Structure 1
Amino acid sequence: MRMLCWNVNGLRAVLKKGFVDWLRREDADIVCIQETKAAAEQMPPEVTGIPGYHFYSTSPLEKKGYSGVALFTKEEPKSVSYGFGIEKYDIEGRTIIADYGKFVLLSIYFPNGKMSQERLDYKMGFYDAFLDYVDKLKAEGRKVVVCGDVNTAHTELDIARPKENSKKSGFLPMEREWMDKFEAHGFIDTFRVFEKAGGHYTYWDTFTKARERNVGWRIDYFYVSDNLKKNLKGAFIEPDVMGSDHCPVGIDLKI
């Protein structure tokens, strides 16, 4: 089973840049999209009616043109939900939870904390609410896959300029320590199972043309619970796929 994840920075915008062709070419079993910037009722038919895929999207969104996640899946999940049951975190449309029986998939666009202290506090609270949710799934013996834009580079290997960004949200000690905690709770950074070196990024600033120089951040991840580690057969980043300031990431699981 191949799973892909991509922050498209506007699904309707990326449609004009070959998104559907990319989706068909990849032919993945599951494709998780973050930052759609559109609610379900705003999705054009060329997105909602792609042959071979069931389509799910968060709706409504508290703010129009902001946040939003979507899911393309060949196999119809047993159930789909849209949050942790905490209104202040669910109203921004950041979470899709798809239960496939053999595993539970969470596709999440985690908050960005750069705008203000209030948004940083919101981000850290969201992190904790998410961790409580997946901890409960693990305690029930469920196998869990988590993917999305986590909006934090975990280690110095995951960012091109760690010293310059050490006091900015996205690379703050408190954010990185939370990721340490997340992994300590039994979740595996799939890419690091197969690749130990730095220089691999998933986001580049558009205004400074950072992608051309590979001055980036690895902030988009696939995590699996440790009871799925033996099922993990590959993990990868697709930096050559254009259309967004992020690029897709993916995993191969034997289910």
Structure 2
Amino acid sequence: MLNIISANLNGIRSATAKGFLDWLPAQDADFVCMQELKAQAPDMTAAMLNPEGYYGYFHYAEKKGYSGVGIYARHQPLQVIQGLGVPEIDAEGRYIELVYDGLSVVSVYLPSGSSGEHRQAAKFAFMDHFYRHLADLAQRGRKVVICGDWNIAHREIDLKNWKGNLKNSGFLPEERAWMSAVLDELRWVDVYRRLHPETTGEAYTWWSNRGQAWAKNVGWRIDYHVATPCIAEHARTAAIYREARFSDHAPLTIAYDWALQAT
């Protein structure tokens, strides 16, 4: 089995203090895709850079304490790709891809538009560039798994209070239509939904820190594995870990009945 975890850490230093790295060894993960590191290279400890049994790869944001993505991998890749080749996007540390023989694993962190119109505009700009990148990846015919916080709840069953969020970033009609185009037109697969087509409350991966969202399970499903069909068809199980809280997001683990041919 190929076990891949996606986890928005809302700060790798904070998540580490809450036991994230202590939790990892028992997960038997081949890849751990992380988002929102909120750290730069000088902030990282040796354990954060390379937990036992893993190689760590990172794309930090230029702004301190902001964004950033990374991947822990059991095997060294043939190539590491940082960024989408768009300076204003890459300055925020939102994309990293590890390339292997027959497989690519990506950690991505889409912008949130909730802080104002300027950030929503940045989110739409990212989506435009990313859509073209997704189209290019899909045409290559490779096995690709893209893990991350997409900051979009696709369907009404993907968040608790959908009626009250129709005009809010993360559930805007334009965002949902874009997600539909990724899945329907480009033929990418929402792997969790492939395994659990109609699951509601148990599918949530993020809860606001406001009010009693966690206690009342007023959540959103915004963390995904989105994969090309040739690897998505091998997905067997999906699990969202809620027993401990390392972040305002919960780690999403999916197991694929496929073996990585490491070099």
Q: Per the shorter chain, which TM-score range?
A: over 0.9
Counterpart of 2:261?
none
Distance 2:106 2:244 in 1: 23
On the 8 A contact 1:240/1:247 being kept in 2, the answer is no
On the 8 A contact 2:59/2:83 being kept in 1, the answer is no
Counterpart of 2:223?
220
Which deviates more, 230-239 or 87-96?
A: 230-239
Cα-to-partner distance string for 1:157-212 (whole Å, 9 max, x where unaligned): 00000011111001110111110011011111111112122112000111212111
Unaligned regions of 5+ residues in structure 1, if any?
Answer: none
* Corresponding residue SS for 1:5: strand
Matches within 5 A, 1:1-255: 1-59=2-60, 61-184=61-184, 185-195=186-196, 196-199=198-201, 200-255=203-258
On the 8 A contact 1:39/1:57 being kept in 2, the answer is no
Cα-to-partner distance string for 1:21-48 (whole Å, 9 max, x where unaligned): 1111212110011101012332111212
Distance 1:76 1:131 in 2: 28
Distance 2:221 2:243 in 1: 15
Distance 1:24 1:228 in 2: 25
Which amino acid is the alignment partner of residue 155 of structure 2? T
Instruction: Tell me the C-alpha RMSD between the 2 structures.
Output: 1.2
Structure-2 change in CA distance of 1:101 and 1:241 (3 Å): farther
Distance 2:250 2:57 in 1: 21
* Corresponding residue SS for 2:165: coil
Distance 1:125 1:235 in 2: 31
On the 8 A contact 1:82/1:96 being kept in 2, the answer is yes
Distance 1:139 1:233 in 2: 25
Kindly tell me the number of residue pairs found equivalent between the two proteins.
254
Cα-to-partner distance string for 1:209-250 (whole Å, 9 max, x where unaligned): 211110011000111111223322222222333121100002
Which ranges of 4 or more aligned residues in structure 1 deviate by more than 3 Å? none
Which amino acid is the alignment partner of residue 197 of structure 1? T
Distance 2:132 2:42 in 1: 31
Distance 1:188 1:122 in 2: 25
On the 8 A contact 2:155/2:176 being kept in 1, the answer is yes
Distance 1:225 1:82 in 2: 20
Report % sequence identity: 39
Distance 1:25 1:229 in 2: 24
Distance 1:144 1:49 in 2: 23
Distance 1:75 1:94 in 2: 22
Unaligned regions of 5+ residues in structure 2, if any?
Answer: 259-263
Distance 1:51 1:146 in 2: 24
Cα-to-partner distance string for 1:53-110 (whole Å, 9 max, x where unaligned): 0011113x22100001111110111111111111111110011111112111121011
Distance 1:46 1:228 in 2: 31
Distance 1:22 1:56 in 2: 19
On the 8 A contact 1:83/1:95 being kept in 2, the answer is yes
